[in-house]
């Protein structure tokens, strides 16, 4: 009897609740039903510097376009990289969104599945690799030439090290940088290599040690990795992982830090030098305008310094070396006019040799085999054949610590 009652109750609840749904819940739009609606799917929420960077750019672009949160733009946070992502994307499409973004690498296959189900909706995936091989008209990848931003941040780091050498705090041969990386993945390798090349362009004796945390977001692991690097006599730390773990470890130990995805000046006033980040707002604005006017969204979009996608935060108030701002302006101009190339093959070696040919795994078919020649005219052409980075060489001067 009790059990029967439980079952009946369950059924009644489901039915009554289902009946309630006849009432239109979001009747706040009024008559303007055809208005543009856009959605963003995030792996974490704004507590992750990575996701916050996307959320901020998205909100800014939407608000400029006159969209309102909860009515014409929607943000779904903490969406795992599984079937839930497809559900979330399709749910946004059901809501009337015709432009849907996702921010995490692992969302890509589910975004592709959603794109196949909804050919009238545009799906844009940041950091993904498959748009140019999937060849769907409504699925697009985007990234930015963040290696240029990393290079600039590296220059700021190199200047700081020079200052430490001149002040006699360290000897020239002790110029070892520590780097907390997420995964031994091209995006991370491209990032730390460009950062290192930037530092070495002003400080010849610089070397670097990298620890991978094998997680994109793990505050404890990142903090411990930074502490380990500091214990290993690294005199400056940078990171490609998404929490405040590494910067706060630096602040505690009073070691200068170059962060990523946004300024950590507020948390780390004594040690923060500068941070590079991708500003996603220009891309979001471009897509919103494209959908409004019916134009095509590029299959592979690479934001640059010119488009305003690759930016440096303000310099820290205390930590940066004197003259950093001037030097950065000079290098930035060099990057923009092409006189400085980040991955100039004359500036690095692999196993003691200059690299003059390299097949990169640009077509990500799950085989992990390189098929595209990416070195041309003395430079590694990063983000040329697809938007997501594919520089994954292990260059001399950088050691990976297990």
Partner 1 sequence: MLGFHIVKRKNMEWWKAWLVRIGSILLGALVCAAVTVFLTGKDPVNVFTTMVDGAFGTERRIWSLLQGIAMLLCVSLAVTPAFKMRFWNIGAEGQALMGGLASAACMMFIGDRFPNWLMLIVMAVTSMLAGAIWAVIPAIFKARWNTNETLFTLMMNYIAIQFVSYFICVYATGGSGKIDVINPVTHTGWLPAIGGKSYLLNIIIVLILTVIMYIYLKYSKQGYEIAVVGESENTAKYIGINVPKVIIRTMIISGLLCGIAGFLLVSGADHTISRDTIAGRGFTAIMVSWLAKFNPVVMILTSFLLVFFEKGSIEVSQLCGLNASFSDIITGIIIFFIIGSEFFINYQIKKNEKEVKAS
Binding footprint of partner 1 on the chain (CB under 8 A): 1-3, 5-7, 9-10, 13-14, 17-18, 20-21, 23, 25-26, 45-46, 69-70, 74-78, 80-83, 87, 90-91, 94, 105-106, 109-110, 112-113, 182-189, 214-216, 361, 364, 366, 368, 392
Q: CB-wise, 21 or 339, nearer to partner 1? A: 21
Of residues 326 and 402, the one with the C-beta less far from partner 1: 402
The kind and range of the H/E element at 112 are: helix 108-117
Q: Which is nearer to partner 1, 81 or 252 (CB)?
A: 81
Contact 44, 81 (CB under 8 A): no
Residue 269 CB, nearest distance to partner 1 (Å)?
27
Are the C-beta atoms of 149 and 382 separated by less than 8 Å? Answer: no
CB 115 within 8 A of CB 107: no
> In sequence order, which residues have a C-beta less than 8 Å from that of residue 183 and are 6 or more positions away?
212, 214, 215, 216
- Please name the residue that has the structure tokens 């990386």: 181
Using the minimum distance from each CB to partner 1, give the nearer residue, 87 or 174: 87
In angstroms, give the least distance from the CB of 102 to partner 1: 14
Eight-class DSSP state of 316: P
Distances (CA, A) of 353 to 79, 210, 349, 350: 44, 21, 5, 5
- Kindly tell me which of 20 and 322 has the beta carbon lying closer to partner 1: 20
Which CB, 162 or 213, lies closer to partner 1?
213
Q: Taking the complex as a whole, how short is the minimal distance between the CB of residue 140 and partner 1, in angstroms?
A: 18
What's the min distance (Å) between Cβ of 79 and partner 1?
Answer: 8
DSSP reduced 3-state for 72 = coil
The CB-of-77 to partner 1 minimum distance in angstroms stands at: 4
Please compute, for residue 361, the number of CA atoms within 13 A of its CA located in the half-sphere on the CB side: 13
Query: CB 149 → partner 1: shortest distance, Å?
Result: 21
Q: Alpha-carbon torsion 228, 399, 202, 191, what sign?
A: negative
**Gap between the Cα atoms of 129 and 388, Å rounded:** 6
Which residues on neighbouring strands pair with residue 100, listed in sequence order? 39, 123
Q: With respect to partner 1, which residue has the nearer C-beta, 128 or 149?
A: 128
Compute the least distance from the CB of residue 15 to partner 1, in Å: 10
């Amino acid at each position: 009897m009790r059990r029967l009652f439980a079952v009946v109750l369950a059924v009644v609840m489901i039915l009554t609740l289902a009946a309630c749904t006849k009432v239109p819940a979001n009747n706040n739009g009024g008559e303007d039903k055809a208005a543009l609606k856009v959605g963003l799917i995030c792996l974490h929420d704004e507590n992750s510097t990575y996701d916050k960077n996307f959320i901020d750019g998205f909100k800014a672009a939407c608000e400029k376009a006159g969209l309102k949160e909860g009515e014409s733009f929607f943000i779904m946070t903490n969406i795992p990289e599984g079937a839930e992502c497809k559900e979330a994307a399709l749910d946004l499409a059901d809501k009337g969104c015709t432009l849907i973004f996702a921010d995490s690498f692992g969302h890509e296959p589910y975004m592709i599945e959603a794109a196949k189900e909804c050919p009238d909706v545009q799906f844009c995936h940041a950091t993904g690799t498959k748009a140019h091989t999937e060849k769907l008209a409504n699925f697009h990848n985007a990234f930015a030439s963040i290696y240029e931003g990393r290079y600039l941040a590296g220059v700021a780091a190199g200047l700081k090290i020079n200052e430490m050498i001149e002040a006699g705090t360290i000897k020239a041969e002790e110029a070892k940088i520590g780097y907390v990386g997420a995964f031994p993945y091209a995006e991370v390798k491209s990032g730390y290599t460009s950062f290192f090349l930037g530092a070495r362009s002003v400080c010849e004796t610089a070397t670097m040690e990298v620890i991978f945390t094998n997680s994109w977001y793990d505050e404890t692991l990142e903090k411990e990795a930074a502490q380990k690097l500091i214990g290993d006599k690294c005199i400056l730390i940078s990171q490609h992982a998404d929490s405040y773990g590494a910067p706060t470890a630096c602040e505690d130990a009073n070691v200068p830090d170059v962060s990523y995805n946004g300024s950590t000046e507020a948390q780390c006033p004594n040690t923060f030098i500068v941070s590079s980040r991708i500003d996603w707002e220009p891309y979001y604005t471009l897509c919103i305008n494209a959908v409004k006017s019916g134009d095509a969204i590029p299959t592979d979009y690479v934001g640059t310094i010119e488009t305003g996608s690759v930016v440096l935060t303000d310099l820290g108030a205390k930590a940066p070396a004197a003259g950093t701002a001037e030097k950065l302006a000079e290098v930035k101009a060099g990057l923009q006019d092409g006189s400085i190339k980040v991955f100039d093959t004359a500036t690095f070696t692999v196993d003691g040799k200059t690299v003059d040919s390299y097949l990169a795994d640009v077509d990500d078919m799950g085989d992990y085999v390189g098929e595209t020649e990416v070195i041309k005219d003395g430079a590694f052409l990063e983000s040329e054949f697809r938007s997501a980075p594919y520089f994954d060489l292990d260059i001399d001067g950088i050691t990976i610590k297990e």
